[in-house]
Structure 1
Amino acid sequence: MDSVTQPLVSVICLCYNHERFIAEALDSVLAQTYPNLEIIIMDDCSTDNSVAIIREYLQKYPQLTFLSTGTNQGNTKAFNTAWRASKGAYIIDFATDDVLLPERVAQQVAAFERLDETYGVVYSDAEYINDEGRHVRFHCQRNRAGEVISFAPSGDIFHHLLGRYFICPPTMMMKRRVFEDLQGYDETLAYEDFDFWLRSARRYKYFFLDAITTKRRLHASSLSHQLYKPGDKQLSSTVVVCEKAAKLVQTAEERSALTRRLQYEARHAYLTGHYQQAEQFLNLLRQHAGLGPVYQTLHFLNKLKVDLRFLRVLYQKLLSR
């Protein structure tokens, strides 16, 4: 099958102040063995030297498309602008501080071509690297035979996504139709992953591809590392996503998963001093499943803003030993 008959894949390369990493990131996209690529670089108004580096690539590789938000708008808005300008049957949301392995696109397209129309997302294993590009760990746990032993389900995984984290977001390839059905990411949110997972998994199946396809860079300043820290804006978005989830659940299994999620979020919001968000999670929990004695007590302590943040710090120290 030649590049004319192979499905077009749009790689949306999102950049915001990635001057240290963008060359390696773009090189990894250009090195893909899959021939039918649309590469769109979307800069979200970087304030470092990223755009100068991008312009060097544009001169060298005329097949690249460059877009700019003009003003910093955040990941969700920037990505939506780019995917709406794209044409690919499959889409990859690629941050330009990460790295794609050469067979990434080819492997995921091949997986999609084997699946039926009910599947909308393929995800895989990843290697985590630090700012210097050194290995930190792999996303999936494997036994001595190399088999994945950590949780990585395929099929209808809506209830799993409600209850726990197990997908490494930059490993996902998504059908264009999924974004069209969802009308893209929710631009009112501070982050996109949890909301996208739930809304897409309600309509489409997911497939786990047992391969390491991506290197994900870990930063101390990344959004995931800011979660539950003072001033974290992601918690308010999680409240909104949980409100949406309450309207999507259909089965007893899904209701149970949402209950666990709300309990988890309420505990962590309270134990990190985010009393307003803890109150919102507890109110959702009350409406959804009721408050048992433990969460009635938590609600009482939260109302009084009794500061027990030291308990979470102590717990994390014990885990790190």
Structure 2
Amino acid sequence: MKVKDIIEVCRPIWMPGRAYGTYEAELTVLLPTFRRNRDGLFQRALRSILAQPLAAIEIIVIDDASTDGTAETIASAMQADGRISCIRHQVNMGLPAISEFEGYLRSTGQIIGFGFDDFVFEPDGLASLHAIMRAKGSCFVHGEGKMISEENDITLGDARFPHDNLFHHNFLANGAVLVSREAIESVGLYDPHIVLARLCDFDLWRRLRRRFNFEAIPLLVGREYGASRSDSLGNTYPMQYEVINEFMGIDRNKQLVPSAFLERDVLYTPADASYPLRHHIEELKEFFSTKSWFPAHGLRKTENAAEYESAPRRTVAVVGSLTASVALDWIGDPGSPLDFINHVDPEQSIYLTDPVLAKSDLVVFAREIMTPHQQRIIKQCRNLKIPHVYFADDNFPELAKTNRVWAEYNVSRLRNELRSFSGVILSSEKLREYFLREKLHPRLDVIGPIFLQSQLQKCSAAGPLGENEAAYRIATFGGLFRMQNLVHNILPVIRDLPGQVQLFTRDVNSSLGSRSVEHITIPETSSFFRFLKLWARKRPHVVVHPAGRSTNIDYKCESAILISLYLGAVPVVADEQAYRMFDVEDGVEKVSDTPEAWREALIRLQDPVYRAAMLARLRRTCETRFTDDEQRRILDSYLQGLPVLDAHRYASRCRALMGDRREQPQSDFRPGEHGYCQLNRAVEIVGSENLDGISSGNGFLDEVTGGSIVMGWAMTDQHDQCELLLEIDGYCVGSFSANLFRIDLQRAGYGDGRYAFWVKVPDIFRDENAHEVSVKFASSGQHLGRSPMTCVLR
């Protein structure tokens, strides 16, 4: 059933306002509504838009055949204010994405806002967001929206949380988003397909994120009241969240641009859809079958995989935080087979992770598989007999020999843990040789990072933002174990370079600048894509990757080469194992680790013509070497021959998961290892999906255990997750997310939330000397109660 046919059935009536077409709108707000007049919520939403201090605003209301007096309210409002226009359906449609499309066709503004009849804007929220968008020249901005519920209000779109979260769930309030007409004409509008009826906004944000840089604004734009209403889409439309990602992995932009939108089929089933997706489409067809536009012969049930017209798609889940490890190796360009991967945050609620497991043919566990959250999901895979593989990009057994943080990854324990795994995927040939020598697993494969054309385009559009264009810009983003080499071998060379130099480093308190060198630090972040955005804005000419001294150095991969290209910079690397296969013909300056060699390379790269030639070589290298061919081949080899996930197997898994959920006792909280913050009992009750951040709080840095691990806890007034910074001797050595205990839960008798985090100390500081250790709230810079504290790090 095509959009144009549905519109014809619903017979929209266009009623332009008195002022329509008489002025150039600065902002068009699309406002679909259905039966929200009787309780006054629609009127509140409409008045909140009209009250914005923005004269040239245009409002297009799309009334989906309401029968509760909405039409009369709209008519009265149009008579009072000529900026309001209306499209009224004579027959109910029930697909807000099509209503938005109809409104967009009539819009005249270059910036589009998405009002909804349950979203009430702050007095100047929309106008302020619009002004910021214009000032920044952005295509896509969002502020914050407060979701009002009967229990706990939730802040959506917190500017401090990375947009990587969109790989896991929708955390933006659609009313707090503004999009340029240019962006919509590029990636399209809300998808009207029935699978996305509830999450068409989520899908659009993800598609926009692929093409454009977000601007997150710390501004409360409005309040959303639909979550607490029984008649909201979220509480009435069926949805299987776990199959949405598979559908969103289909490259649909060309079908969703305004010029092609009328031909979009809202009922089609992809020929290679997995059984769970096909089943959900059929469930949705039954739900929409009462609509007047639904075709008489639109229902067809498929119970078994054998009835597929073609081979069903196999689904893969990657479990792991979206650090560089996962982001560089397991994310593909739009439409690529890797774009169908379900990315699972291991610390999310089981009500989000378990359904994804139920529909997965294969699960990849990334990096740190000994954490309690990863262990729980591994146990589920074993119980459900879901094939699973391990991906590692560091040599944890070697690290375990010198750092107790990684003690559980000793050869014996890791070998035993990997017994249930179908195989191991590694990031370097040297790492494969180690696993082979230690007999850690019989099947070992090697992959490299993946070049994303879409990511390069985004980074290229990210800056510069007010930097000194005449300066020679040098960046270094390596770990702290490379900082000593930078300071002793490279910094004196940089200070002697001719002309003005800007040096960009990680967030350190001591200045590395001089009379000729401006030292600029960039905030720490655990989000890889936020890291790229922050660093790309500085538009460095060169990335310096100092030599490292660690037990793990020979097992590192070549990711710095690809990251340099994303930043638009030529990489200058030491002659380490990871870069043995690269040279100047590949666009890489590789040097022996001497001041003279660094000086020669950096002086050569001051020539813009030479630099441009090197960048062109670097791009060709990344395009040809960093493909997803190996990932696809390896995944196909694991999936080949596996039984198809049909109705019986899928239902059996779901039953097993529900039974496990009922029988699982409420475990006491224990601190986590390896730098991951764990949920305690009370926060589990609240729900880990509550992502409100905090700007203040109180708590304690309790102790440094054995000189290698920092433990601590904190309480907050009304939130349960935030970003923390670990500082040693004034240097910020890492950032991490912590789920902190809430004071109201303590008062309710759910415990005191001690040891809400447990984070490792970098090896460079474990030198038997006394150091000042502190933990701060990233947003406010406020210390946790008893920090800083002085202790010996061993």
TM-score, length-scaled by structure 1: 0.73
For each residue in 1:4-24, what CA deviation from the matched residue of structure 2 results, as whole angstroms up to 9, or x when unmatched?
A: 998620010110111121111
Structure 1 residue 293 displacement after superposition: 6.8
Give me the whole-angstrom Cα distance separating, in 2, the residues matched to 1:225 and 1:15: 16
* Pair 15,107 (structure 1): closer, same or farther in 2 beyond 3 Å: same
Structure 1 residue 109 displacement after superposition: 1.9
Give me the whole-angstrom Cα distance separating, in 2, the residues matched to 1:6 and 1:104: 21
* Pair 57,104 (structure 1): closer, same or farther in 2 beyond 3 Å: same
Give me the whole-angstrom Cα distance separating, in 2, the residues matched to 1:299 and 1:13: 48
* Pair 243,292 (structure 1): closer, same or farther in 2 beyond 3 Å: farther
* 1:177 is the counterpart of 2:182: yes
Give me the whole-angstrom Cα distance separating, in 2, the residues matched to 1:104 and 1:266: 32
* Pair 233,260 (structure 1): closer, same or farther in 2 beyond 3 Å: closer
1:1-321 alignment, distance < 5 Å = 8-19=26-37, 20=39, 21-71=41-91, 72-116=93-137, 119-130=138-149, 137-139=153-155, 151-153=160-162, 157=163, 159-188=164-193, 189-190=196-197, 191-217=199-225, 218-221=227-230, 222-225=232-235, 231-232=238-239, 236-242=243-249, 253-254=326-327, 256=330, 259-261=342-344, 268=351, 280=359, 282-283=360-361, 285=362, 294-295=380-381, 297-298=383-384, 302=650, 304-305=652-653, 306-309=655-658, 312=661, 319-320=685-686
Structure 1 residue 107 displacement after superposition: 1.0
TM-score, length-scaled by structure 2: 0.32
Give me the whole-angstrom Cα distance separating, in 1, the residues matched to 2:153 and 2:349: 29
Give me the whole-angstrom Cα distance separating, in 2, the residues matched to 1:128 and 1:303: 33
Q: Is the 8 A contact 1:125 1:138 kept in 2?
A: no
* Pair 73,304 (structure 1): closer, same or farther in 2 beyond 3 Å: closer
Structure 1 residue 94 displacement after superposition: 0.8
For 2:108, the aligned partner's letter is K
For 2:28, the aligned partner's letter is S
For 1:33, the aligned partner's letter is P
Q: Is the 8 A contact 1:152 1:208 kept in 2?
A: no
SS at match of 2:153: strand
For 2:116, the aligned partner's letter is A
Give me the whole-angstrom Cα distance separating, in 1, the residues matched to 2:152 and 2:47: 22
Instruction: Please identify, of 236-245 and 80-89, the stretch whose mean Cα deviation from structure 2 is larger.
Output: 236-245
Give me the whole-angstrom Cα distance separating, in 2, the residues matched to 1:234 and 1:163: 10
Structure 1 residue 73 displacement after superposition: 3.6
For each residue in 1:74-127, what CA deviation from the matched residue of structure 2 results, as whole angstroms up to 9, or x when unmatched?
A: 1111111111221111111111121111212321122112224xx322111223
Bigger relative contact order (CA 8 A; separation at least 6): 1
Give me the whole-angstrom Cα distance separating, in 1, the residues matched to 2:380 and 2:240: 27
Structure 1 residue 294 displacement after superposition: 4.3
Give me the whole-angstrom Cα distance separating, in 2, the residues matched to 1:162 and 1:270: 13
Give me the whole-angstrom Cα distance separating, in 1, the residues matched to 2:347 and 2:88: 38
Percent of aligned pairs with the same amino acid = 18
For each residue in 1:112-154, what CA deviation from the matched residue of structure 2 results, as whole angstroms up to 9, or x when unmatched?
A: 12224xx3221112233359xxx9535069xxxxxx7x7434x
Instruction: Please identify, of 53-62 and 29-38, the stretch whose mean Cα deviation from structure 2 is larger.
Output: 53-62
Q: Which runs of 5+ in 1 are unaligned?
A: 142-147
Give me the whole-angstrom Cα distance separating, in 1, the residues matched to 2:88 and 2:347: 38
Give me the whole-angstrom Cα distance separating, in 2, the residues matched to 1:234 and 1:223: 14
For 1:201, the aligned partner's letter is R
Give me the whole-angstrom Cα distance separating, in 1, the residues matched to 2:88 and 2:365: 42
Structure 1 residue 160 displacement after superposition: 3.7
Q: Which runs of 5+ in 2 are unaligned?
A: 1-21, 253-314, 316-321, 332-340, 367-376, 387-648, 667-680, 687-749, 751-794
Q: Is the 8 A contact 1:11 1:40 kept in 2?
A: yes
Give me the whole-angstrom Cα distance separating, in 1, the residues matched to 2:365 and 2:247: 15
Q: Is the 8 A contact 1:9 1:90 kept in 2?
A: yes
RMSD across aligned C-alpha pairs, in angstroms?
A: 4.0
* Pair 268,128 (structure 1): closer, same or farther in 2 beyond 3 Å: closer
For 2:153, the aligned partner's letter is R
Q: Is the 8 A contact 2:344 2:353 kept in 1?
A: no
For each residue in 1:2-43, what CA deviation from the matched residue of structure 2 results, as whole angstroms up to 9, or x when unmatched?
A: xx9986200101101111211111111110101110110011
Give me the whole-angstrom Cα distance separating, in 2, the residues matched to 1:243 and 1:77: 19
Q: Is the 8 A contact 2:147 2:156 kept in 1?
A: no
Q: Is the 8 A contact 1:164 1:261 kept in 2?
A: no
SS at match of 1:205: coil
For 2:208, the aligned partner's letter is S
Structure 1 residue 206 displacement after superposition: 0.8
SS at match of 1:239: helix
Q: Is the 8 A contact 2:25 2:108 kept in 1?
A: no
* Pair 308,152 (structure 1): closer, same or farther in 2 beyond 3 Å: closer
Q: Is the 8 A contact 1:15 1:95 kept in 2?
A: yes
Q: Is the 8 A contact 2:144 2:155 kept in 1?
A: yes
Structure 1 residue 312 displacement after superposition: 4.7
Q: Is the 8 A contact 2:32 2:99 kept in 1?
A: yes
SS at match of 1:139: strand
Q: Which structure has more helix as a fraction of its residues? A: 1
Structure 2 residue aligned with 1:145: none
